Structure 1
Amino acid sequence: MENLGNQIFSSYQRNPDLFDEIFDKDGSVKDVYKTLFDLYGGHSIQDYVRLNEKAKSSFFNQGITFQVYGEKEAKEKIFPFDLFPRIIDTNEWDIIEQGSIQRSRALNLFLWDIYHDKKILKQGIVPLELISSSDNYLHQMIGVNPPGGIYNHISGIDVIKHTDGDYYVLEDNIRCPSGVSYVICNRTALKRALFGVFNHYQTHTVTNYAENLLDLLETTKPKGVDIPNTVVITPGMYNSAFYEHSYLAKTMGVELVEGRDLFVENDFVYMKTIQGPERVDVIYRRIDDQFIDPLEFRPDSALGVPGLFAAYKKGNVTLANAPGTGVADDKAVYTYMPEIIKYYLDEKPIIKNVHTYHCSRPDELKYVLEHIPELVIKPVDEAGGYGISIGNRLSKDEIEKVKKQISEAPRKYVAQPIMSLSVHPTYIDQNESFEQRHIDLRTFTVLGKDREFVLKGGLTRVALKKGNLIVNSSQGGGSKDTWVLKE
């Protein structure tokens, strides 16, 4: 067996200024990776190229794709996947898991409060103006009691490791967080290509997500329902995450529906079937708020169900996630997460926030405009990495353009220091070699009535372009299988 260092890693260049997940500062392999490092040593780079192609074929044959929306057209792409997995040991995972649960619980309590008593706003801990000016705050949700008291049934928390070795939360995603199907498919693809490596590690499964999701969603069923009927609603096959919608419906064993498959009668929701109408009790929705009901929101929406929101307000159907949750994953609200956690849970954040400047504050706006080359500028309500500007990559003209955008609409932007995400050896196709690439981790937390579940793995996303810090698939990113080790 040839040594991996002389084969796959022979051209790996390590930048000692970056936090490498596999190598210590002195260049030695970290203990948790040693076995994996040696196992991969049995393959030449040519073997690896072949295995990589096999994995890509597996993704293509399963239809694991996503849409990238450009200025002129949308393109469907195979989700890029790297065969060299990321490993997280038990102690580190405990921090990530508990931190994700803490944030999800606090966000749920925050949402209940701002749609009911508004105590945190009245006491000035979170500014009223911040919430009232959010496009995602739905006045229709004021006073509505979601079944089971849950708003953010599914939360996607994006976590990074900085050069100091500590974890930080980059952002919270609680509208329709996507990517969990890729977690499961990454594991399947890696097992098919390199099954032998799994015999050497005790790794938590990721294939139990769908059954846990269904189980916890059902705990938030409407009152008076014994055995709830659950469906997944999708905007349709042209949506960028349609593969995920169909995958989750199939693995949960529930129907995948579009708006036209449902109707409302006497404030109850029904599904059209060849046997006749069938009542629906829980809807895992992958349609944005404004499109779920043309009678209540956008009248031109052909994606939603007329009367659905009235049924929801009466407690006759559960919508997951609840309408109006987007106000809490506003990147401006993120700046108050330490205060939100303290207020509702009386705890310190388990995982730190990245220091964030909100441009609606005059002193912080002034600082941001003067220090753009040192900052990452983010729109507060965009997802998928769209609209982000990384200051040290901008030309003088681009900096001036960003300044103008911020100055014209300060409420719409936040800024953060440029965080150096940790790096992980990643196979780069065009160079046929392993190179350092920046990574993050999206964890998936599911809240049910009185219990929760965190998928022991999450989605490790990789910025495939050299030096790039934006990991989103829509911006050219890929992913890795994430192994959480058992004790």
Structure 2
Amino acid sequence: MLINYQADTFFDEMMDQSGNPKDHYRAFNNIISKASAEDLRKRHERAQSHFLKQGITFTPDEYGTERTPPFDFVPIIIPEQKWKEIENGLKQRVEALSHFLKDIYGEKKIIKEEVVPKELIENSAYYHEKQVAGIDLPLSNHLFIAGIDLIRDENGEYRVLEDNLRNPSGISYVYQNRQVIRKVYPELFDQYRVLPLENQFKELQKALLSYVPHNASSQPQAVLLTSGVYNSAYYEHFFLAQQLGIELVEGCDLVVENDIVYKDTTSGLERVDIIYRRMDDEDLDPEAFGSDSEMGVSGLMRAYRQGNVTILNGVGIGAADDKAIYAYVPEMIRYYLNEEPILKNVTTYFLRDSEQRDYVLKNLEKLVIKNVGASGGDDMLIGPNAPEEELATFRQKIQDTPNEYIAQPTIELSRAPAFQDGEFRPRHIDLRIFAMKGKETNVLPGGLSRVALMEDNLVVNSSQGGGFKDIWVITEEGGKNDA
């Protein structure tokens, strides 16, 4: 089935340039090579059927259309030695971002010393100084869970593509992907020792409960706050609440009295101490943010400020995952930790700078343009794949509002085999790895690999038609030189 698979000039996760499987993929290749096309097709269908039967869906468009995430059973396999580099790099990055958030809502040293431009922070739509500055948070930390997107370039070097801190999604699919591949290809787990995920929810729960507010009740209670069934990630909200052993609530289930948050139950009001929120800042409290949203809880920010409730991730955390701020994370690492970054960024051009803007406008067809506040692949240009009309549109956008965009080189993302229409085809991928920060920082051993299912497409987001793969961290397979 892989005899005609071509690694070409891209860095391929599974195959070397000669078309042979890399050391850590040999056992997988041996099993797949013995399977017939019909057997692989049936297993592929079983995987999709599992997602459907479990009700595992997401909503990729504004029309409310639900669909199951396309799952590909070829995992991304990472030897433990290489994984340690990723794990250490992510812990370093999360630590620096945590320092940054504490600083910009506190002493603002990094601004005063001009390490990060003041206007980048103050002009961010996610910087809420009025609502957040001066709050004494548990563990002095705003950041509970982060989803960091990594790519491998044409040389196989890992680079950070984005930091997702507001409401990073996908952790539920990490677990479901693993469950599905165990059902579809159980014999693979006889050949590999894959670091398990099963105990990670205990770690997540432990981290969550470490954020007990300063004025907590005697028996602190946590809830997961969702905007409701119409949220595109509602399945994940339900799954996480279930696995964490906490109640899933909406804004209408909560009330604030005397700056204390309560949950309305059939037996009366019960105090809530920790809220893991999965909605935007502006929707949390219409009183504090002057919004007309009906999803939030009036007075919630007063309770937050008084130390009577903890909100995770912290309010205003988006100021650290703005795409314009992303370029300064290496400087944050040097500034706060006095260390060199373990994982490099992708080169980034700031369009508010006239020289960099001129370069970008002259080379638009070679670059990727991103809106600094957008997510999910929205308002983004892939220059090499764009028609002239789209190039012209983005050229005008950059000229009109340069501060709203950044530019990056078009990196040839690594590729891996994906099973499509009865054969394996090379498709571009990235990796989303989750880090949980409580009293300590823990990195989930594995993660979610997103795969662009259209040929030569570099946009891997599920909202743009991408699919998912499992990520395995293995402890006893080789590949020191080609991993």
TM bucket by the smaller chain?
over 0.9
In the TM superposition, what whole-angstrom CA distance separates every residue of 1:116-166 from its partner, at most 9, and x where no partner exists? 111111111101111111111002111122222111111111001111111
CA distance in 1 between partners of 2:236 and 2:141 (Å) = 23
1:171 CA drift (Å): 0.7
2:481 aligns with none
Pairwise mapping of residues 260-409 of structure 1 onto structure 2 (< 5 A)? 260-409=252-401
CA distance in 2 between partners of 1:298 and 1:329 (Å) = 23
Pairwise mapping of residues 53-452 of structure 1 onto structure 2 (< 5 A)? 53-70=45-62, 73-139=63-129, 140-225=131-216, 227-428=219-420, 431-449=421-439, 451-452=440-441
Is 1:36–1:197's contact at 8 Å kept on the other side of the alignment?
A: yes
Q: Rate the CA distance shift 1:374–1:223 in 2: closer, same or farther, 3 A.
A: same
CA distance in 2 between partners of 1:110 and 1:180 (Å) = 24
Is 2:64–2:230's contact at 8 Å kept on the other side of the alignment?
A: no
Question: Quick check: 1:46 aligned with 2:70?
Answer: no
1:478 aligns with 467
Is 1:291–1:298's contact at 8 Å kept on the other side of the alignment?
A: no
1:227 CA drift (Å): 3.9
Per the alignment, in what secondary structure is the counterpart of residue 287 of structure 2? coil
Is 2:215–2:308's contact at 8 Å kept on the other side of the alignment?
A: no
Is 1:9–1:434's contact at 8 Å kept on the other side of the alignment?
A: yes
1:14 CA drift (Å): 2.7
Per the alignment, in what secondary structure is the counterpart of residue 171 of structure 1? strand
Is 1:148–1:221's contact at 8 Å kept on the other side of the alignment?
A: no
Pairwise mapping of residues 459-470 of structure 1 onto structure 2 (< 5 A)? 459-470=448-459
CA distance in 1 between partners of 2:200 and 2:301 (Å) = 28
TM-score using structure 2 length:
0.96
CA distance in 2 between partners of 1:24 and 1:405 (Å) = 41
1:222 CA drift (Å): 0.9
Q: Letter of the aligned partner of 2:69 in structure 1?
A: F
Per the alignment, in what secondary structure is the counterpart of residue 75 of structure 1? coil
CA distance in 2 between partners of 1:13 and 1:27 (Å) = 7
Q: Which residue among 433, 444, 447 is the counterpart of 1:455?
A: 444
Per the alignment, in what secondary structure is the counterpart of residue 77 of structure 1? coil
Number of residue pairs the alignment of both structures matches: 474
Q: Rate the CA distance shift 1:144–1:43 in 2: closer, same or farther, 3 A.
A: same
Is 1:270–1:280's contact at 8 Å kept on the other side of the alignment?
A: yes
Structure 1's unaligned 5+ residue stretches are 1-7
CA distance in 2 between partners of 1:176 and 1:390 (Å) = 25
1:12 aligns with 5
Per the alignment, in what secondary structure is the counterpart of residue 436 of structure 1? strand
Q: Letter of the aligned partner of 1:12 in structure 2?
A: Y
In the TM superposition, what whole-angstrom CA distance separates every residue of 1:447-484 from its partner, at most 9, and x where no partner exists? 102x1111000111101110011111001000111111
1:89 CA drift (Å): 0.5
Is 1:441–1:459's contact at 8 Å kept on the other side of the alignment?
A: yes
4+ residue segments displaced more than 4 Å: none
Q: Letter of the aligned partner of 1:346 in structure 2?
A: N
Per the alignment, in what secondary structure is the counterpart of residue 239 of structure 2? helix
Is 1:338–1:349's contact at 8 Å kept on the other side of the alignment?
A: yes
Structure 2's unaligned 5+ residue stretches are 477-483
CA distance in 2 between partners of 1:132 and 1:329 (Å) = 14
1:209 CA drift (Å): 3.0
1:265 CA drift (Å): 1.0
CA distance in 1 between partners of 2:49 and 2:290 (Å) = 41
Task: Report sequence identity in percent.
Answer: 46
Is 1:262–1:269's contact at 8 Å kept on the other side of the alignment?
A: yes
CA distance in 1 between partners of 2:71 and 2:427 (Å) = 13
CA distance in 1 between partners of 2:22 and 2:359 (Å) = 40
Q: Letter of the aligned partner of 2:460 in structure 1?
A: V
1:4 aligns with none
What is the root-mean-square deviation in Å for CA atoms of aligned residues?
Answer: 1.1
Is 2:57–2:69's contact at 8 Å kept on the other side of the alignment?
A: yes
CA distance in 1 between partners of 2:198 and 2:230 (Å) = 26
Per the alignment, in what secondary structure is the counterpart of residue 248 of structure 2? strand
Is 2:52–2:68's contact at 8 Å kept on the other side of the alignment?
A: yes
CA distance in 2 between partners of 1:176 and 1:146 (Å) = 19
Q: Letter of the aligned partner of 2:225 in structure 1?
A: I
1:337 CA drift (Å): 1.1
Is 2:274–2:310's contact at 8 Å kept on the other side of the alignment?
A: yes
In the TM superposition, what whole-angstrom CA distance separates every residue of 1:90-122 from its partner, at most 9, and x where no partner exists? 111111111111111101100111111111111
1:486 CA drift (Å): 2.5
CA distance in 2 between partners of 1:101 and 1:214 (Å) = 19
CA distance in 2 between partners of 1:104 and 1:110 (Å) = 10
Per the alignment, in what secondary structure is the counterpart of residue 74 of structure 2? strand
